[in-house]
Amino acid sequence: MARSVAATSSATSAVPAAGSSPLPAAVAERLLAHVTVAGERDRIDVTAPFTEEVLGSVPSCTAEDVELAVGRARAAQGAWARTPMRDRTAVLRRYHDLVLERQDEVLDLIQLEAGKVRAHAFEEVADVAIVAAYYARTGPGHIAPRRREGALPGLTRTRELRHPKGVVGFIAPWNYPLSMAVTDVLPALLAGNGAVLKPAQTTPFTALWAVELLYEAGLPEGLLQVVTGRGSVLGTPMIDAVDFITFTGSTEVGRSVGEQAGRRLIGCSLELGGKNAMLVLDDADLDDAVRGAVAGCFASAGQLCISIERLFVADAIADGFTERFVAAVEDLVLSPALAYGGELGSLASRSQLETVTRHVDDARAKGATVLTGGGPREDVGPLFYAPTVLTDVTDDMELFGDETFGPVVTISRFRDVDDAIERANDSPYGLNASVWTGDVRRGRDVARRLQVGTVNVNEAYAAAWASVDAPMGGFKDSGLGRRHGREGIQKYTEVQTVAVERFLPVSRIPGLSQDRNARTLTAALKLMHAIPGLRRA
């Protein structure tokens, strides 16, 4: 059985006792000043998963508030787009420094709102700092004007320009309340856009802290607006008002967001669900693979879009791997402490606990074997669930194909790598995968055959995620578009081609008849094909 915090002395700072709010009223009031409201609104309580006590409340914003927020962001956007790029990058550089300097504040907020252990909360801090530094350094180059080949060498000068979309809307999830609230916003702002952010209704204070720090870093007043409340109320008016929409969440909701954006003919970026697989090949180092599997399956209690829910292990090493993996899982420290030391946190909500419980109970009832875990851990906290490992899973079980999004993983054996790849690909999702092998070339060959947006060889998810110069996103039902890299900032721009014709027109040379004009252009086209470098002249 996985250990609770009571079984270890390493985690010493527990959450406040029931009945007291760990979020001071003055802090909450300061953060709530960044919410855009047109008048008095009903309130939505925000609770702490560790205790299910109320942390505070936020306005239940309306379509009127969305309209006001978009209007304010649009009013500020024009001047920001004309601001020199060096001044825009300076904001991101200062933000990078502030996030690292003030991390203790937000680590508490992340833990309180999302129920994570502190080490997993720190991953969000590191991610935000990495992304801010990356785009401050490379963003200007990704969207700088570029010379393109002209129609006729020496006669046509063609350039590609990138303009900001205008106002970008962001609908953020609850599972990574800092990282997913702001890392997509940063490149959009750097590209010259205004922004409206709707954080998850269960984790708004972390997002408001991130926004407050951006203003401290020098962001112009009004450029980034926040509306709080229910996505079912605010999503449609936001999509109806902005010039581009970014959504991270479930595939079901993502389809609706894409449909609404399509009707308006605006672009969208969607990172959606996953049922991610890890393949442990017969030449893998068992100790390394076990450590990687524990990290990949149980980061943020499995509530990570790129976490591992399916383990495929080569038959030759399956017994050894399974024995070591189960032992490592049983040794995990469950903790609600606001301090380093814990290894597995709480589920984020009562509804998430119900989903995880339903999936495991359904699998058990239909014949799955529970190797460890398999139930709630109310002795640690009201929403804790024991890290769970299952075998003998069949396709009639709910968790076989559906995303569980909790600390639950299944183990299956394979004899043939081709079969393992086929089974890993047998999913409507295609977000992330992991391959473990002693032969890196073999790992790359397997990776290329997996139908997913990112593959980590001898790592679970962090290697690809932290390689922010490379795109991150999903195949199939796991989404549209990419974050990170040049795609992560270029998607927030409109591309414009400016072609300047000099001396002679492309369409017809003055003074020539139609047939002679055609012969002349034919000769020019043959020459350009024969001498490729001539086109760039």
Question: Does residue 369 contact residue 392 with C-beta atoms inside 8 Å?
Answer: yes
CB 181 within 8 A of CB 129: no
Could you give the 3-state DSSP secondary structure of residue 253?
A: helix
Measure Cα distances from 240 to 170, 173, 246, 432 in Å.
13, 20, 13, 31
Helix (H/G/I), strand (E/B), else coil: 111: helix
Q: Please state the domain extents for the chain.
A: 26-272, 276-474, 508-537
Q: How many CA atoms, within 13 angstroms, populate the side-chain half-sphere of residue 249?
A: 21
* Cβ atoms of residues 60 and 43 within 8 Å: yes
> 71: exposed, middle or buried (C-beta count within 10 Å: 0-12, 13-18, 19+)?
middle
The Cα–Cα gap between 52 and 113 comes to 10
Angle formed at CA 167 by CA 163 and CA 168, multiple of 5 degrees: 100
Task: From first to last of the 537 residues of the chain, give the pLDDT tens digit.
Answer: 666 544 333 333 455 444 445 889 999 999 999 999 999 999 999 999 999 999 999 999 999 999 999 999 999 999 999 999 999 999 999 999 999 999 999 999 999 999 999 999 999 999 999 999 999 999 999 999 999 988 877 788 999 999 999 999 999 999 999 999 999 999 999 999 999 999 999 999 999 999 999 999 999 999 999 999 999 999 999 999 999 999 999 999 999 999 999 999 999 999 999 999 999 999 999 999 999 999 999 999 999 999 999 999 999 999 999 999 999 999 999 999 999 999 999 999 999 999 999 999 999 999 999 999 999 999 999 999 999 999 999 999 999 999 999 999 999 999 999 999 999 999 999 999 999 999 999 999 999 999 999 999 999 999 999 999 999 999 999 999 999 999 999 999 999 999 998 877 777 778 888 898 888 888 888 888 888 766 555
Distance CA 87, CA 533 (A): 38
What is residue 19's predicted lDDT score, i.e. its pLDDT? 40
CATH match of 276-474 with 3.90.1150.10: no
> Other CB atoms closer than 10 Å to residue 217's CB: what's the count?
18
Residue 159: φ, ψ to 5°: -130, 145
Axis-axis angle for helices 204-216, 85-101 (nearest 10): 130
Amino acid at the residue 257: V
| Nearest of 238, 278, 283, 274 to residue 257 by alpha carbon | 238
Residue 170 in contact with residue 197, Cβ under 8 Å?
yes
User: How many CB atoms sit inside 10 A of residue 103's CB?
Assistant: 19
Give the integer Cα–Cα distance in Å for 349 and 385: 11
User: Could you give the angle at the alpha carbon of 354 between the alpha carbons of 107 and 6, nearest 5°?
Assistant: 50
Query: 434 has which bridge partners?
Result: 278, 456
- HEC readout, 362-377: HHHHCCCEEEECCCEC
| CA distances, 358 to each of 139, 211, 267 (Å) | 45, 37, 36
Model pLDDT, residue 143: 98
Q: What is the pLDDT of residue 9?
A: 31
Helix axes 318-330, 286-298, angle to 10 degrees: 50
Q: What is the CB-side half-sphere exposure of residue 380 using CA atoms within 13 A?
A: 32
Report the C-alpha gap between 345 and 384 in whole angstroms.
Answer: 7
d(CA 76, CA 37): 17
Return the structure tokens found at 202: 């269960």
Judged by DSSP in three states, 289 sits in: helix
Question: Where do runs of H (alpha helix) occur along 165-313?
Answer: 179-182, 185-190, 204-216, 231-241, 251-264, 286-298
The residues, any chain, with a CB within 8 Å of residue 515's CB and separated by 6 or more, are none
* CA atoms of 438 and 324, how far apart (whole Å): 18
In this structure, the strands spanning 276-280 and 267-271 are: unpaired
- Name the CATH code of domain 26-272 (choices 3.40.718.10, 3.40.605.10, 3.30.460.20, 3.40.50.150): 3.40.605.10
Q: Which residues are catalytic?
A: 271, 305
- Concatenated DSSP letters of 513-531: -HHHHHHHHHHHHHHHHHS
